[in-house]
Amino acid sequence: MSQWGPGLPEGEYLVSVTKFEERPVAAEEEEGPYDPALANMEPPPPKSLIPMKYAQPEQSGLKASVGKSGGTFDFDLTD
């Protein structure tokens, strides 16, 4: 759903695609003791499962033409 309702207005769109590895949650994180030394540590960034060039619409090379009937789009992600 978009700000215009279901779907997008007709037009040409640059497309980005992302998919990241889920970060497993260790049992210690859920129930372990509080460690102030780790309180402000950022977790490592998740690993991208597809080439990062697809994350930026201007760099992905992917485009979609949306018509009145909308539709679905399949993109061949190679590299």
Q: Is 53 exposed, middle or buried (0-12, 13-18, 19+ CB in 10 A)?
A: middle
Return the pLDDT at 40: 74
77 is a domain residue? no
Residue 53 within a domain: yes
Task: Give the residue numbers spanning the domain of 27.
Answer: 11-66
Structure confidence at residue 49 (pLDDT): 94
* pLDDT (0 to 100) of residue 4: 56
b (16+ CB within 10 A) / e for 16-46? eeeeeeeeeeeeeeeeeeeeeeeeeeeeeee
Q: Looking at residue 62, what is its pLDDT?
A: 96
4 located within any domain: no
Residue 74 within any structural domain of the chain = no
Number of domains in the chain: 1
* Three-state secondary structure call for residue 14: strand
